[in-house]
């Protein structure tokens, strides 16, 4: 029976591949073991070959031209600290956000498909130890944050975690090993993102990793919005009554996993997808820039923004195009559904030329290319913003909410992240009257960690027994 089923699948796969000129993928099929045959057929079945055929014509055989709009303008945004004219609206938004959370209409969504390769960590990035004293892994930090939200608002928060085929099994095992960090297993849904084949630049043929596997790569963080649909996560949200998704990426331990004020502003203005921004520290900072294009919000990659615009400053000295994108969003469930309605996913694909090792089908040898030989196709989540009728931007604070862990050393490293976490903890304690030791340059002279289960904002420290002062060189865990 299994052989007959596999034979039927092989016939179907052959027909789909021949229709787009990729029949070479099954060249070694007969030489594979039954398990390898099944794995290859699973790979073939996971790919939308009609879409791949279209993209080969538009993004491989030709190089799409990227034309910036002729007129880019800085967008309006809600400031981190409101002036008198916005104070009442912020209070209204906070109350609305808290009500939506307490009614179970907000879910958390974490994009966690990456490995810790750049960190020298041979495991999913979400398993990386991130905090200054306990070395709590990133997944644990987010879970503790959600536990605090649940206790504050007496609600059960569903958490959706997008993995990748590369790290899905390891991520599931990690959650099970740590007993979901105190959450209930049925409130955590893990699912892998979609993959796209790497395609040879010269021949437009899908590259093979070996005789029984295509060379596949993730379809970009924009693919997270497709994976929500394909995995059944959107349907699960609908069943639970969820209306808004709090979108974060896995590498930032200071992120507000669910922020009532941001959710409230987003809902109050009836936005489909909203974003947090940071003022860029300098023109060359590697953050995409929010712009206004034809009345709609868009993100321009930092490398695509013309230098003359990147350098422009206002009369007060601030960068004119200063709103940097940090991949924190609030998204309506029905908007994500609309992106997946009809014949295909609505976000555009982008072309990237990469070095991809491959199997030479003529010699049977593995080739390690010295220069980019392949086209990878990916989507970006911020490309959904111009599709919104309403989209808002809310400014956040760098110390409060942006301490990413991306590189082993230097900028956005574990050390810079931990320094920022300590600084944030010190500010929260100082706001509560605790004396914190600092050197002449203002750097905290102690190691401080505030667990999310203790506080996720300064007000949560009210009622917590705090020391009158922190001793220099000490470690303080609250």
pLDDT at position 340? 94
Using an 8 Å Cβ cutoff, are 77 and 393 in contact?
A: yes
Name the 3-class secondary structure at 186: helix
- Hey, how many other C-beta atoms are within 10 angstroms of the C-beta on 8? 10
**Residues 477/134, Cβ–Cβ less than 8 Å:** yes
Query: Residue 303: pLDDT band by 50, 70, 90 thresholds?
Result: confident
Rounded to an integer, what distance in angstroms lies between the CA atom of residue 113 and that of residue 61?
A: 29
Q: How far apart are CA 164 and CA 150, in angstroms?
A: 28
Predicted local distance difference test score (pLDDT) of residue 346: 87
What are the tens digits of pLDDT across the range 22-41?
999 999 999 999 999 999 99
- pTM assigned to the model: 0.94
Distance CA(355)–CA(291), nearest Å, equals 32
CA 476/CA 429 separation, integer angstroms: 11
Listed in sequence order, the residues at least 6 apart from 58 whose beta carbon sits closer than 8 Å to its beta carbon are 64
User: Which 3 state secondary structure label does DSSP give 426?
Assistant: helix
Residue 1, Cα to own-chain centre: how many angstroms? 42
Question: What pLDDT, on a 0 to 100 scale, did the predictor assign at position 66?
Answer: 74
Comparing CA positions, the residue from 306, 272, 267 lying closest to residue 289 is: 306
Q: What are phi and psi of 475, to 5 degrees?
A: -110, 130
The phi and psi torsions of 477 (rounded to 5 degrees) equal -115, 125
Predicted pLDDT of residue 3: 61
Residue 325 has pLDDT above 80, yes or no: yes
Q: Which residue has the tokens 């922020």?
A: 259
Q: How far apart are CA 169 and CA 172, in angstroms?
A: 5
Quick one: pLDDT at residue 2? 59
What whole-number distance in Å separates Cα of residue 335 and Cα of residue 274? 11
Planar angle of CA 54, 57, 61, nearest 5 degrees:
150
Q: Residue 1 above 60 pLDDT?
A: no
Q: Can you tell me the distance from the alpha carbon of 407 to that of 410, in angstroms, rounded to the nearest whole number? A: 7
* 48 vs 138: CA distance, rounded Å: 33
If you ran DSSP here, which 8-state letter would residue 340 be given?
Answer: T
Q: SS3 for 16-60, per residue?
A: HHHHCCCHHHHCCHHHCCHHHHHHHHHHHHHCCHHHHHHHHHHHH
In whole angstroms, give the CA distance from residue 144 to residue 151. 11
Residue 40, both tokens: 């290859």
Q: Please, what is the angle between helix 223-230 and helix 233-240, to 10°? A: 70
* Residues above pLDDT 70, as percent of the chain: 99
Residue pointed to by tokens 């003022």: 279
141-178 pLDDT tens trace: 999 999 999 999 999 999 999 999 889 999 999 999 99
Q: What distance in Å separates the CA atoms of residue 373 and residue 250, rounded to the nearest whole number?
A: 30
């Amino acid at each position: 029976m299994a052989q007959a089923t596999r034979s039927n699948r092989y016939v179907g796969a052959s027909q789909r591949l021949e229709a787009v000129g990729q029949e070479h993928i099954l060249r070694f099929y007969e030489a594979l073991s039954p398990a390898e045959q099944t794995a290859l057929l699973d790979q073939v079945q996971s790919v939308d070959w009609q879409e791949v055929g279209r993209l080969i014509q538009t993004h491989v055989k030709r190089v799409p031209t990227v034309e910036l709009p002729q007129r880019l303008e800085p967008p309006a945004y809600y400031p981190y600290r409101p002036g008198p004219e916005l104070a009442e609206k912020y209070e209204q938004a906070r109350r609305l956000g808290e009500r939506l959370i307490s009614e179970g209409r907000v879910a958390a969504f974490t994009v966690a498909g990456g490995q810790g390769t750049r960190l020298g960590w041979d495991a999913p990035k979400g398993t990386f130890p991130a905090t200054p004293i306990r070395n709590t892994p990133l997944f644990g930090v987010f879970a503790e944050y959600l536990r605090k939200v649940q206790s504050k608002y007496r609600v059960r928060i569903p958490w959706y975690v997008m993995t990748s085929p590369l790290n899905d099994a390891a991520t599931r095992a990690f959650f099970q090993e740590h007993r979901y960090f105190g959450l209930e297993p049925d409130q955590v849904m893990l699912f892998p993102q979609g993959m796209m084949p790497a395609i040879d630049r010269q021949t437009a043929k899908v590259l093979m990793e070996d005789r029984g596997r295509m060379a596949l790569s993730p379809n970009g963080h924009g693919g997270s919005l497709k994976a929500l649909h394909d995995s059944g996560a959107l349907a699960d949200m609908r069943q639970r009554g969820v209306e808004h998704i709090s979108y974060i990426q896995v590498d930032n331990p200071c992120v507000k996993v669910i922020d009532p004020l941001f959710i409230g502003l987003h809902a109050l203005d009836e936005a489909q997808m909203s974003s947090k921004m940071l003022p860029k520290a300098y023109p060359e900072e590697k953050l995409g820039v929010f712009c206004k294009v034809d009345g709609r919000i868009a993100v321009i990659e930092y490398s695509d923004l013309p230098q003359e615009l990147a350098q422009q400053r206002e009369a007060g000295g601030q960068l004119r195009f200063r709103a940097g994108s940090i991949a924190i969003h609030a998204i309506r469930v029905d908007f994500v559904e609309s992106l997946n309605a009809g014949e295909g996913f609505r976000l555009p694909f982008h072309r990237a030329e990469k070095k991809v090792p491959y199997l030479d089908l003529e010699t049977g040898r593995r080739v390690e290319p010295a220069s980019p030989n392949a086209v990878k196709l990916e989507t970006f989540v911020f490309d959904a913003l111009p599709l919104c009728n309403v989209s808002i931007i809310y400014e956040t604070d760098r110390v409060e909410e942006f301490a990413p862990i991306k590189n082993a050393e230097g900028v956005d490293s574990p050390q810079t992240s931990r320094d920022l976490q300590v600084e944030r903890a010190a500010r929260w304690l100082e706001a509560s009257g605790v004396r914190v030791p600092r050197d002449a340059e203002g750097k905290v002279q102690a190691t401080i960690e505030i667990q999310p289960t203790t506080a996720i904002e300064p007000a949560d420290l009210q009622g917590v027994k705090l020391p009158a002062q922190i001793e220099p060189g000490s470690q303080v865990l609250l």
